[in-house]
Amino acid sequence: MSDGGTQEMEEKFRCFFDISINSVHVGRIIFELFTDTCPKTCENFRALCTGTRGMTKDAKHKLSYEGSRFHRVVKGFMVQGGDFTLGNGKGGESIFGGTFKDECFERKHDTEFLLSMANKGPDTNASQFFITTAVCPHLDGKHVV
């Protein structure tokens, strides 16, 4: 991921990642955020796309997805990213400082290409996310869509 931004359309936010491989731009992923059911989770993702919220608590990293990478890809399941502090799936931070509680499990993992929060258990959302590449009902009630 190299650059991100947002567009407000029809009272829902759309965020995007411009994707590069070996410094060559290969496309753009556009996300429509479910602000109606998960406003806090959506604001965290949107703000990390724009990079407008300053630095991490330790002041070593910008609170931003810019320049981060997809650190985990599982064929037929998902693509994971959002660890902008360590880059290996063990780091990251929310705009609220550290982690925040699960907001809502109303939406289900009932289609491919859904954006969902990655976590380390209940109420541990930070910056990591995944994009499903298949239907994933086993994630319902565990990860916020």
Just list the catalytic residues: 72, 77, 80, 119, 130, 139, 143
* Listed residue (48, 37, 52, 53) closest to 102, CA to CA: 37
In sequence order, which ranges of the chain are alpha helices (DSSP H)?
39-50
Contact 96, 44 (CB under 8 A): yes
Contact 1, 69 (CB under 8 A): yes
